[in-house]
Structure 1
Amino acid sequence: MMSNLADMEIFARVVSSGSMSAAGRELGLSPAVVSKRLRRLEDRLGTRLLQRTTRQIALTEAGQGYYERVLAILTGVEEAENFVSRRSADARGTLKISAPTTFGRMHIAPYLEPFMRANADLAINMMLTDEIVDIVGEGYDLAIRIAELSDSSLVARRLAPVRRILVAAPRYIAEHGSPKNFTDLENHVCLAPHNNDPWRLEGPDGPVTLRPAGPLQTNSSEVVREAVLGGLGIAQRSTWDIGPELAAGKLVQVLPDYAATRKVAIHAVYPSRQFLPAKVRLFIDYLADLYGPAPYWEKGAEGS
């Protein structure tokens, strides 16, 4: 029975991770052993569970039904063990996280100390990058993404809303005036990390698009942030990025009836809801409690 249960877990890991090699890494087994155990399981059941190609693994019809039932069994076993041993309360090992560079520096790094103090057996490996990483292929436990997420095989939990608005420094407004309507932006200096990327905003009459133009070209969002604070022009910024500056009056909102879509949010993305390690669950819960539906960076900026 225990051997059968182990084969079920290997099968479920292969499906959730998308490959035998990834499942093997999670379980500490070689791909050859994983393949052998899967063949043994299929031979015992007398049916093919997976269609294998050089590029991907797909469930057969029988495999899909078996997978759903196996998950229920494994979840029940895990809950029973957690009830007895309380292992679910402990975070151990290394938690590998990917996060956007600026957001990670501003809103994750300053809050790691209390989390790590509360979980003394846990080490954290946090990689900051603005590129979309392959969570499974590169061995990440989770990634923080600021986006309107599309359908994928990954699981996402919304951590906080994103409010993205148009702002300028009082100095710029004093020198150039404030735009009275959306078309006025064509007569202003508009700052963007990539001048070929349009601003897509929601206004009183629906969605509008502007391709920002100005004397500054940069691949850095942080350069744009400093430029707008310095009074160089108007920029589209998230309140998580400039909340304190809005509250202090160093920046003011322009055209308050226009903002980027609210479909964009801050998410924690991870490979699978099943077999979720305690270290991942606890860190996601920590961030969700830290930010919440009314994040701290909005305080003092709500009316901006």
Structure 2
Amino acid sequence: MSEFVDMEIFARVVGAGSMSAAGREMGLSPAVVSKRLRRLEDRLGTRLLQRTTRQISLTEAGQGFYERVVAILASIDEAEAFVSRRSALAHGTLKISAPTSFGRLHIAPHLGPFLKQNPDLAVHLDLDDAFVDIVGNGFDLAIRIAELSDSSLVARRLAPIHRVLCATPEYIAERGVPRTVDDLAGHVCLAAAPQDHWRLEGPAGAVAFRPVGPIHTNSSEVVREALLSGLGIALRSTWDIGPELAAGRLVVVMPGYRASRHVAVHAVYPTRRFLPAKVRVFIDYLAQLYGPQPYWDRGLDHLLLSGNNEQSTAAE
């Protein structure tokens, strides 16, 4: 790269008409400018400039070299401007990993408006409930619903998650209302296989309960359908069953107990440095769409607050 710097110094000297003027433009002393010009001429094996105490002038070889150097430097400037413009604009294919149900309910329906805002983008959305290796599998980012531990990935919190114990009114009418964690042992509890324990925060603090039920599955959506069929009690996120809660098809049980409030919706990506515009605009889009009071919790304030009030009263 030093050769390009020498060529730029040479072009600046010719344009400015003197080494001292070129040095002032570039923040270099006349001695340094003179040294770099001599090095350039030595490397080329020819004299480029005729120097006198009053002025400088181009040799025949210098004139031809100057014309070509100006073209080269202009091409470099154009190339850098091209890359800078592309870095500032969202373009290309955005490859996203997201949980299956959340991606279907809260990402897929919003891709249309996002792509209209960013017409030079295409989206590859891969739905998988496993925590995929986003770097190894070539993803630009992943949406994760978890209490994130320390990792080499960068995470941005997009929205809070509220998870409640719930069941259908029919199930409660048939089996009764559980009021404590111990009561859950007498009920059908529904959970996907990886979810070994429900970690709850209640009037007496944190408690863990291992759900036992007649269904064994690796699919959260299967658990959801079993819950809606009236088979048992499940711990579900309001983003998943908000409409059913609002319509009364599901009811909150044991409202004084909630899952850990440290779980949230996060966007995770490999690095902050040189973050591509396509990643930045999508994360900003979701952050604005969801926010600290996400749309899926609208109309559920009385249910979410009742648990806090009951927990507070019981603790007193």
Is TM more than 0.5 here?
A: yes
Deviations 1:136-168 (A, max 9, x none): 111110000111111111100000011111000
SS at match of 1:262: coil
Shift of 1:303: 2.0
Distance 1:238 1:189, change over 3 A: same
Show the counterpart of 2:218. 219
| 8 Å contact kept, 1:195–1:217 | no
| Cα distance in 2, alignment partners of residues 87 and 251 from structure 1 | 49
Query: Which piece of structure 1 moves more, 271-280 or 171-180?
Result: 171-180
Show the counterpart of 1:239. 238
| Cα distance in 2, alignment partners of residues 288 and 260 from structure 1 | 23
Show the counterpart of 1:303. 302
Distance 1:273 1:109, change over 3 A: same
Show the counterpart of 2:108. 109
What is the alpha-carbon root mean square deviation over aligned residues? 2.0
Show the counterpart of 2:187. 188
Deviations 1:212-241 (A, max 9, x none): 112222221111101111111100001111
One-letter amino acid of the counterpart of residue 187, structure 2:
H
| Cα distance in 2, alignment partners of residues 99 and 3 from structure 1 | 48
Show the counterpart of 2:99. 100
One-letter amino acid of the counterpart of residue 292, structure 2:
P
Shift of 1:132: 1.2
Show the counterpart of 1:260. 259
Q: Would you say 1:289 and 2:288 are equivalent positions?
A: yes
Distance 1:188 1:85, change over 3 A: same
| Cα distance in 1, alignment partners of residues 161 and 246 from structure 2 | 17
Deviations 1:73-127 (A, max 9, x none): xxxxxxxx89x96656521011000001110000000000000011111111111
Instruction: List, as ranges, runs of 4+ consecutive aligned residues in structure 1 with deviation greater than 6 Å.
Output: none
| Cα distance in 1, alignment partners of residues 152 and 280 from structure 2 | 18
Within a 5 Å distance, the mapping from 1:24-103 to structure 2 comes to 90-103=89-102
Shift of 1:180: 2.1
Shift of 1:251: 0.5
One-letter amino acid of the counterpart of residue 168, structure 1:
A
| Cα distance in 2, alignment partners of residues 3 and 262 from structure 1 | 58
Q: Which runs of 5+ in 2 are unaligned?
A: 5-79, 304-316
Report percent identity of matched pairs: 69
Q: Would you say 1:122 and 2:121 are equivalent positions?
A: yes
Deviations 1:51-70 (A, max 9, x none): xxxxxxxxxxxxxxxxxxxx
Distance 1:144 1:2, change over 3 A: farther
Count of residue pairs brought into register by the alignment: 227
Distance 1:177 1:136, change over 3 A: same
SS at match of 1:266: strand
| 8 Å contact kept, 1:195–1:213 | no
| 8 Å contact kept, 1:159–1:268 | yes
| Cα distance in 2, alignment partners of residues 120 and 110 from structure 1 | 17
TM-score if structure 1 supplies the norm length?
Answer: 0.71
TM-score if structure 2 supplies the norm length?
Answer: 0.68
